[in-house]
Amino acid sequence: MPSSPPSGMSSRHSLSAQRRRAAMWFLAPMLIALFCVAAWPLLRTIYFSFTNTTLTSLYDGKWIGFDNYLSYRKLSSGRVIWRGTLADPAWWNAVWNTVRFSVVSVALETVLGLIVALVLHQNFKGHGWVRAAVLIPWAIPTIVSARMWGWMLNDQFGIINDILLNIGLIETKIAWTANIETAMLAVLAVDVWKTTPFMALLCLAGLQMIPKDIYEAAKVDGVHPIRVFFKVTLPLLRPALMVAVIFRMLDALRIFDLIYVLTPNSKATKTMSVIARENLIDFDKFAYGSAQSTLLFALIAIFVSAYIWLGKVDLSGEHSK
């Protein structure tokens, strides 16, 4: 043990330095683990996107600058040809699919999740069981639920068509996942089914944080319940809701498994992750796929920063103290 310094001032100083050192040691394993599993792969992907690496020769890639993103060549006829991901219509189609999917699915899940949370927040007999049961779709692995829904949505022997036919809602069997008009609807329906419980859970946690006495005060004043919801519940729930939405958005923007398993991967449903994987592995264009992965990462980063900034989301929890 080091001998304690004479003056009180420097003693506090060295104590806090010691604490900082200890904290560093405690944090080090986590930082190293994070670096290995998150930062390193990310940096390497970004590096690959500036090379001409292929999967068969992972270590022989040469630096080619921004060619995977955008490059142009002048033909002898004087025509200028643009190449690279940013000039690839298939990429922009995937971006559009992803954004459309994310916005619609997260909007639906937020509204439905909030409704489910409001119901679960009430005290009724067996509400513990119901809360657990609601989580089941979220607990099933996506691949399993995608397969399951694939069979239920099957045009010939699927139960969905059978039910709809029997109650007379449709005339002929619909090929939900194959038809380009309904493929995205099918994906959205399954995703909403799967992740609404997650939203409901986060909303429920938010609801439980709201002090009961505010409601009692509103009751005493005779405020209409709908007014209470919009003037009291929603504003107080907003911080929790904003965080929940950002979690879901992050998840939705990189959707892969559900679409890959459920639909035939046609133009109608191909997302950024699906197209990046296709280039990375199927086409042996590892660097090109890396560029797409990097763009996906950049897009998500920009979106999250904008969301936090514009929505004044409080992720650190400083203001609520």
Residues that bind other proteins (CB under 8 A): 55-56, 58, 154-157, 173-175, 177-180, 263-268, 277-278, 281-285
Minimal distance, residue 181 CB to other proteins, in Å = 9
Cβ 287 to other proteins, closest distance in Å? 14
Of 238, 283, 276, 237, the residue nearest 260 (C-alpha): 276
At closest approach, how far in Å is the CB of 284 from other proteins? 6
The C-alpha atoms of residue 150 and residue 189 are separated, in whole angstroms, by 12
- Which residue's CB is nearer to other proteins, number 113 or number 158? 158
Residue 72 φ/ψ, nearest 5 degrees: -140, 155
Q: How many CA atoms lie within 13 A of 305 on its CB side?
A: 6
Give the CA-trace dihedral at 99, 105, 109, 110, to 10 degrees.
30
4 vs 156, which CB is nearer to other proteins? 156
> Which residues, at least 6 apart from 134, have a Cβ–Cβ distance to it below 8 Å?
116, 120, 197, 200
CB of 100: closest distance to other proteins in angstroms? 16
Q: Which amino acid is at 91?
A: W
238 vs 277 by CB, closer to other proteins? 277
CA 104, 264, 145 angle in degrees (round to 5)?
Answer: 65
Least distance in angstroms from the C-beta of 160 to other proteins = 12
Measured between alpha carbons, how far is 142 from 125 in angstroms, rounded to an integer?
A: 31
How many C-beta atoms surround the C-beta of residue 24 within 10 A?
10
Q: Which is nearer to other proteins, 114 or 280 (CB)?
A: 280
The minimum distance between CB 304 and other proteins, in angstroms, equals: 29
Q: Which is nearer to other proteins, 195 or 279 (CB)?
A: 279
Q: Which is nearer to other proteins, 15 or 170 (CB)?
A: 170
